[in-house]
Chain A
Amino acid sequence: GAGVSQTPSNKVTEKGKYVELRCDPISGHTALYWYRQSLGQGPEFLIYFQGTGAADDSGLPNDRFFAVRPEGSVSTLKIQRTERGDSAVYLCASSPGAGSKTQYFGPGTRLLVL
């Protein structure tokens, strides 16, 4: 079956611009996670959704970052006033439900802020 998909695969933007990154989870998966992976590092947790609500947003670095999942399926990560330090690969993962420990990752969106 279809895995987690993310669009765009690459995004180049200028400092100060607004960007949106999209994630389509595996069908039927109720839990969705966003992570950020900087070069040479492991992924770092940003936010977790269970259904439509953000159950844990403790990893968002500041208020320029925001994510939504209005219908409990597709999610969008939004970054306002981008900074060069936001450049990274943004990963989305989904899992079948609350308490499920296995997450399935998408290919990521590589964001470059010039």
Chain B
Amino acid sequence: GNSVTQMEGPVTLSEEAFLTINCTYTATGYPSLFWYVQYPGEGLQLLLKATKADDKGSNKGFEATYRKETTSFHLEKGSVQVSDSAVYFCALSDSSGTASKLTFGTGTRLQVTL
């Protein structure tokens, strides 16, 4: 079946540091890939997505590139801010059939300090 593996947290960075959160996946076919973010006390929000190989999703300074050859979708940001502190979830959506249920990783907590 489908699965998503994320690097374990927490990740603690100083403001303006470079961020990478690793995500790899196992899936049949050609899934769509997502990063969702959960800020403290809030619900899951879509951060970015990519629907086919070599696509790059980007939003709010975050980027991730769909790498089919390495089955990866690593999240990066060049300069993090305190306001980026949150839990980040990598997810994939099955490409088969009409159902698009998401399979999530376990989440990576990011804490950014001044």
Once A and B bind, how many residue pairs between them come within 8 Å at the CB atom?
63
Taking a contact as CB atoms under 8 Å apart, the answer to whether A101 and B93 are in contact is yes
In angstroms, Cα B98 to Cα A56, docked, is: 10
In angstroms, Cα B99 to Cα A33, docked, is: 10
Q: A42-B89, A101-B93 are in contact. Are A91 and B44 (CB under 8 A)?
A: yes
- Counting CB contacts under 8 A, is B20 at the interface? no
- Counting CB contacts under 8 A, is B60 at the interface? no
B contact residues around A40 at 8 Å (CB): 106-107
Of the candidates A42, A56, A107, which one forms a contact with B104 in the assembled complex, judged by CB atoms under 8 Å apart?
A42
In this complex, the interface size class of chain B, counting residues with CB under 8 Å from chain A, is: 20 to 34
Chain B positions near chain A (C-beta within 8 angstroms): 4, 32, 34, 36, 42-46, 49, 51, 89, 91, 93, 98-107
Please list 27 pairs of residues, one from A and one from B, whose beta carbons are closer than 8 Å in the complex, sorted by A's number.
Answer: A31-B100, A33-B102, A40-B106, A41-B107, A42-B4, A42-B104, A43-B44, A43-B89, A43-B102, A45-B102, A45-B103, A56-B99, A56-B101, A91-B43, A91-B44, A93-B102, A95-B100, A100-B100, A101-B34, A101-B49, A101-B93, A102-B34, A102-B46, A105-B36, A105-B43, A107-B42, A107-B43
Chain A positions near chain B (C-beta within 8 angstroms): 31, 33, 35, 40-45, 48, 50, 55-56, 59, 91, 93, 95, 98-108
